[in-house]
Structures are given as C-alpha cells and as structure tokens.
Amino acid sequence: MRSVERREWIESRPSRGFRKLDVHELWQYRELAAFLAIRDLKVRYKQAVFGAGWAVLQPLAAAAVFTLVFRRLARMPSDGLPYPLFAYVGLSVWTYFSGAVTRATQTLVQNAALVSKVYFPRLIAPLAAVLPGLLDLFIALSLLAVLIPLYGGSVGWAVLTVPLWVVPLMAAGLGVGLWLGTLNVSYRDVNQGVSLLVQLWLFVSPVAYPSSAVPEPWRVAYFLNPAAGVIEGFRWALLDAPWPGPGVLVSLATTAVVLAGGVLYFLRMERRFADVI
C-alpha cells in the first residue's frame, strides 16, 4: 500500500496586528517571483519590433533631447563630464527607478485574481515587479562601452563598485513602490497620480543637472531624495565623476528608512488586500 504524502494545510485568512517579515517564507516562494518577473518581460517584449533595444533607445533619445535643451540652450553644468554621457547615465538609472516604482505600485491590482484566490506571501508581487527592469538597466549601461571612448570619457577603479549601487537602487524603487502599492489597493486614483509623481520627481533629481548645482544650504535637504544619491553614485562609478560628498550617505539612509517603513506598512495592511482588492 502506497504511503500518502502529507501536505500542510494553509488557510488564507486575515492576520492580526503587525506581521513579522518571514525571509524564509519569501525564499520558499522564489520560483513564483521568478515566474512573475519572466512573465512581465515576455509581455513587455512580445510582438515588439525592437524588443530589448528599447532599453537603449529610450535613454539614448532622451539624452539627445536633454543635451540640446539643458546643455546647448540652458548651459547646464555637468561636473566636467561630457554632457551626453552625464545625461545618459542619469536617464538610464532614472528609467529603472521610475519603472520599478510604477510597476510595484500597480502589481497587486494587476494580479488581483491571484491575490484574492491563492495564498502566497504578498510581498513576492512587488519584489518580482522590480526585477525585470534590471535587464533593461544592464543593456542600457552596456552601451557605455561604446559611448565613453566616443565622447572621450574615462573609467576609474570605482567601476568595480557598480554592483553595490544596484542594491540601493532596487531598495529605493521597492520602498517607494510598497508605500504606493499598498495605498493603491484601497485608493485606485493612486495609480493615476503615480505618473504625475514620477514626472515631477525627475526634475528634483540630479538627472539633467548635477547635485553640485544645488545651493549648499539646501544640499542636505536635497539628498533626502532617495534617487539623488544613487544617481550620483552611478555617475561616480561609471564615468569617474567627482565624489558627490556626504550627501550620498544621507540619501542611502533615507532609502533604508523608506524601505523599512514600506515593508512594515505593507505587512500591516496586507491582511486586507484580498477583501478590498
């Protein structure tokens, strides 16, 4: 007689109070995160003429426009770097950040059927939402191998730190996305407002201009923006730009606070997701 495999019974019901982050449980559902991330990539590039080429075309076209408007017309400084390179790196990093925030905000609502009918740690959904953009970021930054010698730029030892800057970049996108995504479950106009938020956020981040252009008395407040430090960090690593100073530490600290607060808020509210969504 064959032995019957015993399976753990999981009841999907609301929890009470604050939940503790269960890293082990998240790891058990890593295959679901990979499935959701790969599915998003397939949907994005299905029947696309240029495919992954959009990862390069978007920041490249935007960098050309920024060079014309901000460099040629507005005479914007670029910390001694060739402005096309300066703008391209900033836009590549910003494209990932804005995309991660937008997708993490929308992912719970877009997967409403899964959230309301199947048990899984809900944090998996926003985590999976910030992963596909990493491929686009890698493709976009790979073009620097051509652009840097073309514009007479240089690369120093700091290029070895690029993987380290990816971590706070993901953390910033995920942290903001957790706050907005949790609110979006109850208030669907958050999804409409996130587009406006991202557009305005672009101009208070050092994408078209360096942080050194911000007056010194406002510098610390400026770096409370979690995107500011990581953008300047990527420029320092990839283009041998000047180190932006202690403001980067302020930005990284803000990122940690936003992420920690976002996780706590998400875990506190997730018990209502299946009922409200």
Instruction: Indicate the number of domains in the chain.
Output: 1
Q: How much of the chain, in percent, has pLDDT values that exceed 70?
A: 91
Angle among Cα 61, 63, 69 to the nearest 5 degrees reads 105
Which is higher by pLDDT, 276 or 92? 92
The answer to whether residue 161 scores a pLDDT higher than 60 is: yes
Q: How much of the chain, in percent, has pLDDT values that exceed 90?
A: 59
Q: 20: pLDDT confidence band, cut at 50, 70 and 90? A: confident
Among residues 14, 185, 170, which one has the least CA distance to residue 108?
185
The answer to whether residue 4 scores a pLDDT higher than 50 is: no
Tell me, yes or no, whether 5 lies in a domain.
Answer: no
Q: How many residues does the chain have?
A: 277
The answer to whether residue 272 scores a pLDDT higher than 60 is: yes
Give this prediction's pTM.
0.89
Structural domain that includes position 117? 23-40+49-276
Tell me, yes or no, whether 15 lies in a domain.
Answer: no
Tell me, yes or no, whether 167 lies in a domain.
Answer: yes
Q: What is the pLDDT of residue 8?
A: 57
In tens, the pLDDT along 233-259 reads 999 999 999 898 899 999 999 999 999
Look up residue 86 and give its two tokens. Answer: 């300066």
Tell me, yes or no, whether 16 lies in a domain.
Answer: no
